[in-house]
Amino acid sequence: MQSVWLKQALKADGGPGITPLDGDLKVDVAIVGGGFTGLWTALELKSRDTSLDVAIIERDICGSGGSGANAGHALPMWLQLPLLEQVSDTESAMNIGNAALKAIDDIRSVSAEHGIDSQISETNTIWAATCEKQSGHWDEMLRLMEGFQVHGYRYLDKDAVRNATGSDALVGGLIDDSSVLIHPGHLVRGLRRVALAKGVRIFEKTEMTKLGRTSPPTVTTPQGTVTARKVVLGLYGWSLSIPELRSSAMVMFTDAAMTKPIPDKLDELGLRGVSGFTDSRVFIEACRPTADDRMFWTKSGGWLPYGDRLDRCSRQPFRTESELRDVIGGYHPALRDVEIEGAWCGPIDRTMNGLPIFGRLPTCRDIVFGYGYSGAGVVPSRVGSHILASLVQDKDDVWTRSPLVSPLSRSFPPEPMRWIGGQIVKAAISRKDRYDHAGKEVGPITKFWLQFKPASYKPS
Ligand SMILES: Cc1cc2nc3c(=O)[nH]c(=O)nc-3n(C[C@H](O)[C@H](O)[C@H](O)COP(=O)(O)OP(=O)(O)OC[C@H]3O[C@@H](n4cnc5c(N)ncnc54)[C@H](O)[C@@H]3O)c2cc1C
């Protein structure tokens, strides 16, 4: 199921121009996965060494995963700083924070240099609350940010948040001056075009069916085997198909919907050019306008796949159209019944603490990986491309020593416990979100199960 973003981007770039692999191949670096992680890493490697022979192996088309389906909130990584500091030190945490700011600049500069219509909107994203029980973490967050000398966050009270978003449903929030909104489809397809122009070979409709943990490693596909000095896995939620990566992350889907262009309605309601926002539910809801006068929104807590069977879940959203309309209607009642252009869903790869993980596969040091973005990968995938490139080049530098290069964990159990436990935790989260809105406290059994939930928007 293609997102409206991806359909728009494919229409604009004249169709995919697919080249599947045709026979065996030897390269310096094989990257599996043609999303932001794979494409940024390919570009980073080429910028470091133009002579490297880099190939991307993508089972569908570039952008068909999370990168072409997301909400396009390009968020800096300030919220991650306290946790990063806890697992490393202040300087290493700030390095990541600054790299994330630079990543947003990279999106701007690559788009400007190569004519990518990323539709960057500087209207920011607000981390908002929809009920009193959700608010209250602002003070702590602002205090922590002061300690890091980060001044991008400002508190907005109910009136200010209404002015910024046009929604009466929000009771307050933190606006992040450095966040931007982008068109994820155009960006990912644009990066593909730039990568091709830089000499990266891209093989689409080419699925990795086996990963050889050999020296050198191999990537087997139905059309041939790729042998590479190094392999990069940029597989996002599909990382669960790699046994070594399975226990460090779980996947749950997020639903998304986009209206048809509604310029008159946006004008009438004063919603043209408003800020995007996420709420503070555990099953986050997010909403933003688009550059072509539509409204777009998401709600997490969708399908919970069994094992690595992600594709069974991605055919249609978890929620009915009416339930999705209720989400937007909760923020903008007058938009509840406007015509929807498309609704889809996509996986979110969650780690327990909400930080992505980069590293080398314990069973083969020549295979490196990056995943676990926990719902915010647009910016961290660019940060991670530096880390992955340094790992590929066997460097000992600020990137390979970064706190995001961390050991794999045993946070999530194997199936069937993962799925059964996941359903119970999912029910507990839904109950907590409902009770918060009713101003009620959840009981001890719900509290017990909530301790097993992975981190939400704010890492913990
Ligand atoms: C609905 C939704 C909303 C989101 N909103 C935001 C947001 O607002 N801001 C934000 O920062 N993040 C958001 N995210 C998360 C963000 O989209 C991801 O973190 C990011 O796109 C990850 O990029 P990636 O390249 O690692 O993954 P992907 O783009 O998914 O790339 C992985 C690729 O691997 C390919 N693949 C899988 N298995 C194989 C195989 N065996 N062989 C070959 N190829 C394979 C897939 O087809 C896919 O194209 C959202 C995600 C979703 C689903």
Pairwise CA distance, residues 203 & 60, whole Å: 9
Instruction: Of 107-116, 244-253, 256-265, 435-444, give the lowest mean pLDDT range.
Output: 435-444
- At residue 385, the pLDDT reads 98
Q: What digits encode the pLDDT tens for the residues 350-360?
A: 999 999 999 99
- At residue 303, the pLDDT reads 97
Instruction: Of 130-134, 196-200, 304-308, 381-385, give the lowest mean pLDDT range.
Output: 130-134
pLDDT bucket at 10, cuts 50 / 70 / 90: very high
Q: What digits encode the pLDDT tens for the residues 50-103?
A: 999 999 999 999 999 999 999 999 999 998 999 999 999 999 999 999 999 999
- At residue 146, the pLDDT reads 83
The yes-or-no verdict on residue 15 having pLDDT over 80 is no
Q: For residue 223, how far is its CA from the centre of ligand 1 (angstroms)?
A: 24
Pairwise CA distance, residues 388 & 385, whole Å: 5
Ligand 1 atom closest to the Cα of residue 61 is: 49
- At residue 16, the pLDDT reads 67
3-state secondary structure of 138: helix
Pairwise CA distance, residues 430 & 415, whole Å: 22
- At residue 391, the pLDDT reads 98
- What are the tokens at 166? 């046009």
- What are the tokens at 43? 């570009």
Q: For residue 238, how far is its CA from the centre of ligand 1 (angstroms)?
A: 9
User: Which amino acid belongs to residue 291?
Assistant: A
Does any ligand 1 atom lie closer than 6 A to the CB of residue 238? yes
pLDDT, mean of residues 331-351: 97
Pairwise CA distance, residues 59 & 283, whole Å: 30
Residue in 377, 173, 177, 380 with CA at minimum distance from that of residue 278: 173
Pairing type for strands 54-57 and 25-32 reads parallel
- At residue 149, the pLDDT reads 83
Does any ligand 1 atom lie closer than 6 A to the CB of residue 302? no
pLDDT, mean of residues 233-254: 97
Pairwise CA distance, residues 158 & 129, whole Å: 10
Pairing type for strands 285-289 and 295-299 reads antiparallel
pLDDT, mean of residues 185-204: 98
Does any ligand 1 atom lie closer than 6 A to the CB of residue 70? yes
Q: For residue 412, how far is its CA from the centre of ligand 1 (angstroms)?
A: 20
The yes-or-no verdict on residue 142 having pLDDT over 90 is no
Residue ranges of the chain assigned to CATH 3.50.50.60: 1-119+182-249+351-410
Judged on CB neighbours under 10 Å (0-12, 13-18, 19+), 207 is middle
Q: What digits encode the pLDDT tens for the residues 323-333?
A: 999 999 999 99
1-119+182-249+351-410 CATH choice from 3.40.640.10, 2.40.50.140, 3.40.50.300, 3.50.50.60: 3.50.50.60
The answer to whether the beta carbons of residues 204 and 130 sit under 8 Å apart is no
Helix ranges (DSSP H) in 178-334: 184-197, 243-246, 263-269, 321-331
Does any ligand 1 atom lie closer than 6 A to the CB of residue 72? yes
Q: What is the dihedral sign for C-alpha 390, 394, 398, 399? A: positive
Pairwise CA distance, residues 147 & 78, whole Å: 12
Q: Can you give the pTM of this predicted structure?
A: 0.97
Q: What percent of the chain has pLDDT over 90?
A: 88
- At residue 228, the pLDDT reads 98
- At residue 457, the pLDDT reads 66
The yes-or-no verdict on residue 458 having pLDDT over 90 is no
- At residue 459, the pLDDT reads 67
- At residue 282, the pLDDT reads 87
pLDDT, mean of residues 30-50: 98
Does any ligand 1 atom lie closer than 6 A to the CB of residue 377? yes
Residue in 195, 241, 193, 227 with CA at minimum distance from that of residue 21: 227
Mean confidence (pLDDT) of the chain? 95
Q: For residue 171, how far is its CA from the centre of ligand 1 (angstroms)?
A: 31
Does any ligand 1 atom lie closer than 6 A to the CB of residue 380? no
The yes-or-no verdict on residue 145 having pLDDT over 90 is no
- At residue 14, the pLDDT reads 80
The yes-or-no verdict on residue 1 having pLDDT over 80 is no
Fold exhibited by the domain 125-177+254-348 = D-Amino Acid Oxidase; Chain A, domain 2 (3.30.9)
Ligand 1 atom closest to the Cα of residue 60 is: 47
Residue ranges of the chain assigned to CATH 3.30.9.10: 125-177+254-348
